[in-house]
Chain A
Amino acid sequence: MRLGWLTQLTQAVLVLALAPLLSGVTRKIRARLLRRQGPPVLQPFRDLMKLIRKEAVVADNASWLFRAAPYLIFGTTWAAAALVPTFATGLPLSASADIIVIVALLGTARFLLALAGLDVGTSFGGIGSSREVLFASLAEPAMLMAVFTLSSFAGSTELSSISAYMQTAAVGINISLALALVALIIVSVAENGRIPVDNPATHLELTMVHEAMVLEYSGRHLAVIELAAALKLLLYLSLIACVFTPWGTAIAGAGLPHYAIGLAAYVVKLAALGFLLVLFETAIAKMRVFRVPEFLGIALMLGLLGTILLFVSKVPR
């Protein structure tokens, strides 16, 4: 029992430490693919430390919500990230929050972020918030549809159980699973503001979504928000890794050697997924804003299709 809690705590700290590293690695790979040198892998850590040490500049008319929001956003995102199995399943907290809760926790973070974007009353904040909620209105149901597919496979909405079920041979190859995977990938790309949807590196006013919402933030507030964004990317990649590539993940209480294997496997999977994400990003151009709903609509439709196929083909017990 005590080991379980220790593992849980380790995981919470691990995701926090790996998140900036992941964004550093993806930036590096991206730069290399574009034949640039790119910043060092540890640059995100330095950026965060730099931001934290700077003074925070807050707009005159910003309310308490503006200052509290970064911590709340980070808190909810971190809580969600700590609930996704990374190197081991069956952690103590995973029994208290299933994957629907994780999706909803991210929804809470997004709600607060969109409000923070509106707080100062600038036009860019408004642009960002209004587009963010539009994208979310399609991405969230798409995600839930993928979740429906996965959980009707495994007969559970808990990620640990789903992951454990996916490790068994009973799964096989199924079209619903493939549809759910595609939906999940599209949602991950959109939710993290990656390239066809949003460009994390841009400050071109009319194209940005996430950056527009956090435009007024600076100093430690910005640092916390950036870290939350990095955590969110890590969360989505971990989610895909734990469901679709469950190999190597340690079962709860399997002992330290298994945990070590699980950890190594997790890092490898994360790196591979990050590489694929960047490869996809460099191969594709950013979409117009009003193409994005269609793109996300596809994810929603695929998720729904997968669920319907599964619901209909399943023989009643």
Chain B
Amino acid sequence: MSPLGGDIAHLLAGSMVLVSFMLLYQDRMSALINVFALHAYVLACSVAWQAYLQGAPHLYITALIALLFKGVIIPGALRRIIVRLDIHRTIEQALSVGPTMLFGIALVGLSIMVMLPVTQSQGAFVREDLAFALSVVLLGFLMMVTRRNAVSQVIGFMSLENGLVLAATGARGMPLVVEITVGFSVLIAFIVIGIFLFRIRERFDTVDLQALDLSRGEST
């Protein structure tokens, strides 16, 4: 691996973290979806670059899947859902942007702390790439926790899954079958959640998940 090639892989993995932070920062639904698409593009670039570096053609397919499904189809579908359901354009946050960001930084620090000692034997970049992937996963989780709206929770889930793919491609040797399975499971999850959304909407006239808690008798 040439140093420049490693540098670029590293940069792309780091950009995933950066875009994850951008996801946390958004307060408009449409912008959130655009940034999520960007997340998928960066993932596709990163995976494709890994395919080139490792000389593993099957990774190109993973990249293509990421690009097609997460970069084009899912954002498009989400946009349609928003229009169809007439979802409010601003995102309600359970925790405001500043503390969320601080928490996010702490999560990145945590994932570095967890990853670095575990993977001492690997090269510096591999360790950091794994730390980045874990950060993306944790940040996706954080997004699901701190957002009230179901659509942004879906996006949080998808970005979490992007982190998993990033980890898998960095680790080398994950079979294509697993990749595709993961891709399809995500797609199915997406469809389920989509249907779910419509149902919530029919029932409660909102997609704010607090409405669900209310119906269970647990008001927050």
Contacts and interface: CB of A to CB of B under 8 A. Distances in A.
Instruction: Say if the two chains contact directly (CB < 8 Å).
Output: yes
B209 interface: no
Interface in A280-313: 293-294, 297-298, 301-302, 304-305, 308-309, 312-313
B217 interface: no
A76 to B, nearest CB: 30
A34 interface: no
Contacts of B7: 172-174
A178 interface: yes
A14 to B, nearest CB: 35
Contacts of B108: 305, 308-309
B112 A312 contact: yes
B55 interface: no
Chief secondary structure at chain A's binding surface: helix
Contacts of B128: 309, 313
Interface in B177-206: none
Contacts, number: 61
A206 interface: no
Nearest to A172: B7
B176 interface: no
Contacts of A174: 7, 10-11
A308 B109 contact: yes
B97 A294 contact: yes
Interface in B98-141: 98, 101-102, 104-105, 108-109, 112, 116, 124, 128
A280 B4 CA distance: 29
B11 A173 contact: yes
Contacts of A305: 17, 21, 105, 108
23 contacts: A172-B3, A173-B4, A173-B7, A173-B8, A173-B10, A173-B11, A174-B11, A175-B15, A175-B17, A178-B15, A294-B97, A297-B101, A301-B101, A302-B21, A305-B17, A308-B105, A308-B108, A308-B109, A308-B112, A309-B108, A309-B112, A309-B128, A312-B112
Interface of B: 3-4, 7-8, 10-11, 13-15, 17-18, 21, 25, 97-98, 101-102, 104-105, 108-109, 112, 116, 124, 128
